[in-house]
């Protein structure tokens, strides 16, 4: 057993990120400015996206996407219960109503055939979440959206650099929001990016900084003008050049990070795929998985303990884990407001009870990987029926 605790998902920050931040701190500009613009440009180019806007979170990106798409009071937005609360919170923020539909049993992504069954005259948008980094069935979702004239706003917090049928996530729907939170495939500590339609991105750009028509860099840089106007009561969602400095170096390393993630996933799959105690995650042939998370599902009928107890056993063996996610319909606010019941979403709910996320990050050593595998197998063997 390990003698030190293995954390679930620490960031991978190296000398290059530190030097880039120091360079920014030594310059005359530390808030939204030249490095943020470079980061936006390089990110958009990497994805093949029309345009990109750097923000302080993925949540900000989702909120702005709804606002610039015209989603508001009385509208409905279709999304999944198998997501973090921010996906649905932003729907509430614009005064719209979240409409949840269940997920597919293999990927745990939103089920396209259920989407069509809940569309009403009030439906304005579909908000698919690429759960764990496995892309949703975007061709089917796009077809539904086109037929009913709906916006597609993708939650790609997990999905960098995922692909659907050879096309990068971030270059498919109308707008796509990414996360650079500390645990994500690349990080800026906190931060996010909104990609997609250039006209909508430019609308979001103004809204992201108080609704002003000229940002600080344009006002205070040489040749800039002090004058600006507020064209809309906007928000404070901008990314700083300090954050963008980290992002620029992280983006350069993304391919290497992904190679290591894939190696870890392969080791996990080899260890767990033939065990009757587990269901391993899938990767459909038509996608490239970003492997943000490795969600192992317990076959509880083969074990004497439940998921929560399994996690505690691993913690006692110095292995950190997590659960992604507590489904939306189980949270008190949404349960009370909309009357959601667990039986309304049987696939999401039953899978939640048996899932745990194992450590998966580029700086895991080979010994770390073996420690996780050994601990998981030991717990299963100890408590098998």
Let me know: does 171 contact 163? Beta carbons within 8 Å.
no
Q: What phi and psi, each to the nearest 5 degrees, are found at residue 168?
A: -65, 135
Among 35, 137, 184, 288, the one annotated catalytic: 184
The radius of gyration of the chain from alpha carbons, rounded to an integer in Å, stands at: 21
Q: What is the DSSP annotation of 211-269?
A: TBSS-HHHHHSTT--S---B-S---B-BPPHHHHHHHHHHHHHHHHHHHHHHHHHHHHH
The answer to whether residue 337 is catalytic is no
H/E stretch holding 357 reads strand 355-358
Who's near 88: CB < 8 A, 6+ residues apart? 79, 98, 100, 328, 334
Q: Which residues of 218-251 are buried (b: 16+ CB within 10 A; e: fewer)?
A: eeeeeeeeeeeeeeeebbebbbbbbbbbbbbbbb
Sheet holding 294-298, edge to edge: 278-279, 294-298, 355-358
Q: Specify the 3-state DSSP secondary structure of 300.
A: helix
Q: What phi and psi, each to the nearest 5 degrees, are found at residue 367?
A: -65, -40
Give CA–CA dist 89/101, Å, rounded. Answer: 16
Cβ burial of 322 (10 Å; 0-12, 13-18, 19+) is middle
H/E stretch holding 278 reads strand 278-279
Cα angle, residue 255 at apex, residues 251 and 260 outer, rounded to 5°: 120
Give CA–CA dist 125/148, Å, rounded. Answer: 10
Let me know: does 302 contact 381? Beta carbons within 8 Å.
no
Give CA–CA dist 9/16, Å, rounded. Answer: 20
Query: Considering only CA atoms, which of 88, 155, 106 is closest in space to residue 292?
Result: 155
Residues tagged active-site:
184
């Amino acid at each position: 057993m390990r003698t030190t605790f293995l954390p679930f998902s620490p960031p991978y920050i190296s000398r290059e990120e530190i030097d880039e931040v120091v360079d920014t701190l030594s310059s005359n500009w530390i808030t939204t400015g030249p490095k943020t613009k470079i980061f936006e440009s390089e990110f958009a180019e990497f994805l093949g996206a029309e345009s990109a806007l750097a923000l302080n979170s993925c949540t900000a990106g989702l909120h702005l996407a709804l606002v610039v798409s015209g989603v508001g009071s009385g509208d409905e937005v279709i999304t999944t219960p198998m997501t973090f609360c921010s996906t649905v919170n932003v729907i509430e923020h614009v005064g719209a109503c979240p409409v949840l539909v269940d997920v597919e049993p293999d990927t745990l992504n939103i089920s396209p055939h259920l989407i069509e069954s809940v569309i009403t005259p009030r439906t304005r948008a579909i908000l698919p979440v690429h759960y764990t980094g496995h892309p949703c069935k975007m061709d089917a979702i796009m077809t539904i959206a086109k037929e009913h004239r709906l916006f597609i706003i993708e939650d790609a917090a997990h999905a960098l650099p995922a692909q659907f049928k050879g096309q990068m996530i971030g270059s498919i729907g109308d707008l796509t929001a990414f996360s650079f939170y500390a645990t994500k495939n690349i990080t800026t500590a906190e931060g996010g990016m909104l990609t997609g339609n250039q006209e909508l991105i430019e609308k979001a750009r103004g809204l992201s900084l108080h609704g002003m028509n000229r940002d600080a860099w344009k006002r205070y840089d040489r040749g800039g003008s002090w004058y600006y106007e507020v064209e809309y009561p906007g928000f404070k969602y901008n990314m700083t050049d300090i954050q963008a400095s980290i992002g620029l170096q992280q983006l350069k390393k993304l391919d290497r990070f992904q190679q290591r993630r894939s190696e870890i996933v392969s080791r996990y799959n080899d260890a767990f795929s033939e065990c009757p105690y587990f269901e391993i995650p899938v990767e459909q042939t038509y996608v490239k998985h970003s492997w943000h998370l490795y969600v192992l599902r317990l076959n509880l009928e083969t074990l004497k303990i439940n998921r929560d107890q399994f996690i505690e056993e691993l913690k006692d063996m110095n292995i950190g884990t997590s659960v992604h996610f507590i489904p939306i319909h189980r949270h008190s606010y949404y349960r009370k407001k909309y009357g959601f019941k667990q039986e309304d979403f049987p696939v999401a709910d039953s899978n939640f009870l048996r899932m745990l996320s194992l450590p998966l990050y580029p700086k895991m050593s080979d010994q770390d990987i073996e420690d996780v595998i050994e601990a998981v197998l030991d717990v299963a063997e100890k408590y098998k029926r």
